[in-house]
A and B are shown apart, each in its own frame.
Chain A
Amino acid sequence: MEAPDIDLDTPSVTLDADPMLLKMGPAHPATHGTVRIIVELSGENIERADVQIGYLHRGFEKMCERGTWSQVFPYVDRCNYVSPLLNNVGYALACEKLLDLQVPLRCQYYRMMLGELARIADHLTCVSAMAMELGAFTPYLWMMKAREMVWDIFEEETGARLTHSFGRIGGMALPPTPGFTEHSQAVVTHVISVIGEAERLLLTNRIFLDRLENVGVMSADDAVSLGWTGPTLRASGIPYDVRKAHPYLRYGDVEFEVPVGVRGDCFDRFVVRLEEMRQSARIIAQCAERMPKDGPVNIDDPRIMLPAKDQVYDTIEGTIQHFKLVMEGIKLPAGEVYGYTEGGNGELGFYLVSDGSGTPHRVRIRPPSFYVTGGLESLITGQMIADVVPCFGSLNMIGGECDH
């Protein structure tokens, strides 16, 4: 073919240089969770970004004020819905902090095991979705299969795969099933092997690494200032984990490490979560050994726990107890408390204000992914549009928690 008869080095057309406004709207295949990111693009570079959340806002805090303290459990389930038991346990611990009471040892280990299984499920979802959005579909399916096995445990224990409402103030809804520890050990072993396989697929893949390394770097100081906690903060180099810094339940007795990243980029956030799953597996193994095989799971206080159903139907005391606890609610003492645990995405806090009646005056959930998503704007500014996908995926924004 002949060469064209024009000089290609000198531009003869000037193109419009206004930035382009692109709305990565709430329904977008690559942003899991409903969020709208309005980006101003110059070519492929993001000049400015505006992250708009709130599409899953359901008025959870207002609804809590219309029920009793126990009726909050279904609401907190639906906050971080990929690790609901961590929310249940976190809220129960906040209420118990206000009551100044400790649950029996068996319950503490039970809560830890269920919580760590939930954390594994959460991280499996995040990690595999991140990979899928970058084009790696296979690890997603493998990890979803592994997550199904975790959910099988939940189904056996709580009756539901996702929204369990299993926590109770002063204990759990039911004691562990007889095969719980064996079942969870088996599943966790399998999950670890699946993680290993996925790592082998992904972590030496040039394309995968290029898309994640040095993309979306958040410095440690900036992360702290933005209120980041959890895996995203640890990826930026700060070893803050509520389970280590302010141990609750039996976390002070078990051995585990807190993986910390180096660069604070998407890759670190990815690998920190993989490592955390391994640490969760360690915790589960230790709890499985230490959990007492029998004994009560719930405290024995009639002012807080519901009675057995045969007592309710046959004795007046059981009926009265059931009536008072359901109709008026557990009377948490007047005062306020901030109870915090390590949720799937960071410090999950509950600020409870009680006026002494059974109805909460205020239930504030401190959602870790709310603050983490608040940093998305500064994370993607200056990056390319294609980097939004791994950046957003690495933050693990859970819509239910972020928007409550």
Chain B
Amino acid sequence: MTHTSPSDPTADRAAIARRLADAGYVADRDLATALWLMDLLHRPLLLEGAAGVGKTAVAQALAIVHDTRLIRLQCYEGLDQNAALYEWNYQRQILALKAREASGDSPDVIEAQIFSPAYLLERPLLAAIRAERSVVLLIDEVDRADEEFEAFLLEILSDFQVTVPELGTLAARSIPRVILTSNGTREISDALRRRCLYHFVDFPAVDREAAILKARLPGIDTALALQVARFVQAVRREDLRKAPGVAETLDFAAALTGVGLADLRGDRELVHDLLATLLKTQEDRNALPREVVDRLLTQVA
């Protein structure tokens, strides 16, 4: 692997942070360290944090940084091996069987044919380890999958090989960089946690959020980006059921630039209308009445 010989971690981390920034992701120091460790120790990285703080975006940016493919496995309740690892292409197998029925081939020949790699459907996990070049494998919301799946995942992540009964063992062509994300729907097992590096993705500080806005919305005015970041920070401090994430901040800023507002204090009425991009429940809307928003706007300006 080409990414195994880092010489100077401080420089490496700075380089990782810079390349992530080029890819549109503004990373903090701890995340850069964790990503550097991922390459050094070849461990998966577990990202936890509230919804919308940019966990998935880390994987997307990492794929861009390493100029490789992002393979994503979205977990859900009831996810099984067939959907995550591999499945035989039954329709094609049956078609092949029917087509050869008249040919008089021996059963052994037919069997060898229909259980060949050509009839194997690669699902995300298998595709990730069979790729020629090391890919980024994103296992999204791993807490939504069942506990049984977790155990199976643990096995794949430590062996990096898959046994298909009809074909034999398929070893990895390359070791993917694995990122797991979790929202805390269910507690993940200690074994899986131990296997992984851990990073908690927190809401960004004001200047980092402003930098994210600048990176994602190149057209935005620096002063406005800072205002928006301060305002959202203040909104998060209010007692809300669902504090707005970075994705919401981006929507809010995009809406502001879309209507051509350059200063948050310029049109409070409009800002109040655009809160729909930040607050997603009726309860939270009620928690921020006009007076409160006005007060927050006065504070941040």
Same complex origin of A and B: no
| Residues of chain A whose beta carbon lies under 8 Å from any beta carbon of chain B | none
